[in-house]
Structure 1
Amino acid sequence: MVVMSSYREPSGEIRHQESNTRAFVNERELGSGTLYIAESILSWKSSTSEDGFSLEYPHISLHAVSKDFSNFPHECLYLMLDADVDNTAEADDDDEEEDNLTIVRFVPADKGILQQLFEALKDCQLLHPDPNDSISEEDEFDGDDGADAISDITIQMNSINNGNGNGHSDDAMDAEPGQFDDAE
């Protein structure tokens, strides 16, 4: 769980900084503040206090520009996190499945900036690939399994190549001896 705390600006290069951005965690509005999309971390700081929060990129499962007013009344930068990020002390323990998923929305005062926020977030997230998404040696083909699959394909291809198009192989055709010998 991440709780609002005393905030420090992110280190490293800041790709985009947007003031007058309201933050929402699940259904709770945290107020207006500044959104920092840095190469190291994504952060938001309240404009009325020293409180804020930071999110590590591998925990951001999905991000998008949302214009769906049926679920949320504002255009926003929508983030789905694979971790519990709750800023209330009274977290509801009845539904444990939702406890592992958090929705964070950033609503900038200037809606025209949403695509730029999305692009900056995408670029920074690419710098921090999820280690659980990489292919391990165990996931790769075993030499024998791969050889069997290639062998099956080769056999099927040879069957097709040896056919003359009407279901008969070249061996079944009547050829006169020496018909295909090279001329001397």
Structure 2
Amino acid sequence: MKAMALIVHINPPEDGLIYTANNTKLKIGDKIVGKGTLYISQNYFGWQAENMSEGISIPWKQISVHGISSIPSKCIYFMLDHNLEWRGVYDKETRASAPNISRNGNVNGAEVAQQINGEIVHMEQQLDDERNIDVDEGNVTDDEGDNTDDHLTECWILPDDVNTVDIIFQAMTECQALHPDSADSLSEESDFMDDDDGNSIESVPVLVGNDEIDDAEDAQGGIRNLNLNDERFADADE
């Protein structure tokens, strides 16, 4: 199970701090939480509010999409793959009053981000295998008939200095690369399955007939000749 975002007081991380910036606004959904300090570390994305004792700490695997947006100004856009609950800041009452997102059949997180923000560049996307979404004639529904927006949370980081947006994006990209999705890792490992005797697929002997052996020897001879020809060509060029 993935770790969820934590609503706690955020202190500067002692280890793994990649980037920090003051005077950064955090927007969740349609609500600007306020100004605060941004902390990008190898283990989590953190933001501490100036006007509250609480901040937010988000593990990198919870951020399914992040990119650079031009709306409302140049800023960082990112999407959480779960429904964020921040009592008194962003909760059920807040979401109930927010407008619904029109998907128009786009189930890809990056496509959703592009539709909402108008212009998204430098998109970084991770596979989200946990969503089971059916698309029918451009309408998106899930298996239970619930609103799929309830399983996503959109956020923006708006720094006072827009020149830092590219730096923030690069730092986020590097940190997310340190935490690949577990489903991707499992898929890569499955390419090298062992047989019942504990041998990898590449080490399992293959039984072939004499004709196939002769063909293989001829092919190897051709490769050796090709290598010799390559050396002659190299000498000629010199």
Flag whether TM exceeds 0.5 (same fold): yes
5 Å matches for 1:51-130? 51-67=54-70, 69=71, 73-87=72-86, 88-91=90-93, 92=95, 96-130=147-181
C-alpha separation in 1, matches of 2:171 and 2:192: 36
SS state at 1:129 partner: coil
How many residues were matched structurally? 146
Cα shift at 1:59:
1.1
Query: Do the aligned residues in 1 keep the contact of 2:64 with 2:78 (CA within 8 Å)?
Result: yes
Query: Do the aligned residues in 2 keep the contact of 1:25 with 1:85 (CA within 8 Å)?
Result: no
Query: Do the aligned residues in 2 keep the contact of 1:38 with 1:124 (CA within 8 Å)?
Result: yes
Aligned residues: CA RMSD: 3.1
TM-score (norm 2): 0.52
SS state at 2:12 partner: coil
Cα shift at 1:95:
5.5
C-alpha separation in 2, matches of 1:121 and 1:137: 24
Cα shift at 1:48:
1.9
C-alpha separation in 1, matches of 2:168 and 2:188: 36
C-alpha separation in 2, matches of 1:103 and 1:55: 13
Query: Do the aligned residues in 1 keep the contact of 2:76 with 2:169 (CA within 8 Å)?
Result: yes
Unmatched tracts of structure 2, length 5 or more? 97-144, 195-238
TM-score (norm 1): 0.66
Query: Do the aligned residues in 2 keep the contact of 1:61 with 1:79 (CA within 8 Å)?
Result: yes
Q: Paired residue for 1:43?
A: 46
SS state at 1:115 partner: helix
SS state at 2:92 partner: coil
C-alpha separation in 1, matches of 2:29 and 2:185: 29
C-alpha separation in 2, matches of 1:55 and 1:2: 4
C-alpha separation in 1, matches of 2:188 and 2:170: 32
C-alpha separation in 1, matches of 2:190 and 2:169: 32
C-alpha separation in 1, matches of 2:175 and 2:5: 21
C-alpha separation in 1, matches of 2:6 and 2:92: 12
Higher Cα radius of gyration: 1
CA distances 1:89-128 after superposition (whole Å, capped 9, x unpaired): 4345795311111111000000011000000111111111
